[in-house]
Amino acid sequence: MENFIIPMIIAATPLLLAAIGELVTERSGVLNLGIEGMMLMGAVVAFAVANATGSTPLAILAGAGAGAAMALIFSVIALSLLANQPATGLALTIFGIGASGLIGQGFVGIALEPLSKLSIPYLSDSTALGRILLSHDAMVYLALALAAGVAWFLYSARGGLALRAVGDNHESAHALGYNVVAIRYLATLFGGACAGLGGAYLSVVDTPMWGENMTAGRGWIALALVVFATWRPGRLVAGAYLFAAVSILPFYAQAVDTFLCGRAPLLCFGDSEDKLLTLLPSQFLAMAPYLATILALVIISRDVNLTKANAPACIGRPFRAER
């Protein structure tokens, strides 16, 4: 079981980082569809810095900075110039995909030293529970701490109340004296930094090498996670681990196939020594995370009241102070 749970926790970390940032952004009333592009830019900049300096912490900070810089571009266009937010976010994703591929051309095939795992003597490796909970890199725990901090901020801090007020009714928040544009700028920059952290985790921690489009749609899954969690941080954490579990099923299924084909060859198609395919083809299993995303959104959309109860009322709507 730990061979399934440990990879699941690792796979959930970039999703959780990107999604928790988008949750804060959307709570302020901003819809940024550029997560994929911000993650890719965070990934390639982090890899470049790690390759140049050999410092993983510095690379992770650089990745967060790259994501925040992309979010700043979005903020200027969508919040200051009042461009359409979904269109601006899509343009940001397209730009991030192209720019990251261009920047990363010289890094293809280069491998980095992975970030070392945390180790607590007599706890991290003595039992299965210790290996599952206490043997990960620092970024795994940072993502969980960030989710807990965001939950506290949104529901227990005065700043979180102001942010939610701006997202629910920006005109009333403005009348109360809140600087709507400044709050949305800060929320969007935070979301970009988190997306950059998610990308940096992929390129310098999870798989310490660069590959074009290495996020493989994780930014879009992070967007779906926010809706799936109905804008609640606790549900977001559970959803990230659920989606991660689905995403690693193809790899886990290979081990199951080996076991089944060795003991029951009739369950396998073809020669059990050459083809480790049981009842489902590998292509279908590779589609599983995206099918799960679509299914989750369909289920959530059936309960309109649940979605409306938690969704920011002003999400995607531009704010003009003169009104």
Structure confidence by residue, pLDDT tens digits, 30-52: 999 999 999 999 999 999 999 99
Contact 40, 202 (CB under 8 A): no
Residue 152 has pLDDT above 70, yes or no: yes
Both tokens assigned to 63: 């990745």
Contact 235, 53 (CB under 8 A): no
Q: Categorize the per-residue pLDDT at 282 as very low, low, confident or very high, splitting at 50, 70 and 90.
A: low
Residue 105 has pLDDT above 60, yes or no: yes
Structure confidence by residue, pLDDT tens digits, 57-103: 999 999 999 999 999 999 999 999 999 999 999 999 999 999 999 99
Q: Regarding predicted confidence, which is higher, 113 or 201?
A: 201
Contact 207, 115 (CB under 8 A): no
Residue 89 CB partners (closer than 8 Å, separation 6+): 31, 32, 33, 34, 74, 78
Residue 269 has pLDDT above 60, yes or no: no
Structure confidence by residue, pLDDT tens digits, 15-35: 999 999 999 999 999 999 999
Give dist(CA 160, CA 189) in Å, integer.
15
Q: What percent of the chain is predicted at pLDDT more than 90?
A: 60
Residue 177 has pLDDT above 50, yes or no: yes
Q: Regarding predicted confidence, which is higher, 109 or 323?
A: 109
Res 127: pLDDT: 73
Res 254: pLDDT: 59
Residue 156 has pLDDT above 50, yes or no: yes
Q: Which of the residue ranges 83-87, 110-114, 276-280, 303-307 has the most confident prediction, judged by mean pLDDT?
A: 83-87
Res 291: pLDDT: 79
Res 268: pLDDT: 54
Give dist(CA 269, CA 220) in Å, integer.
34
Res 283: pLDDT: 66
Structural domains of the chain sorted by starting position, each given as residue range(s) with its CATH number in brackets: 2-109+127-247+281-310 (1.10.3470)
Q: What percent of the chain is predicted at pLDDT more than 70?
A: 83
Q: What is the mean pLDDT of residues 174-202?
A: 96
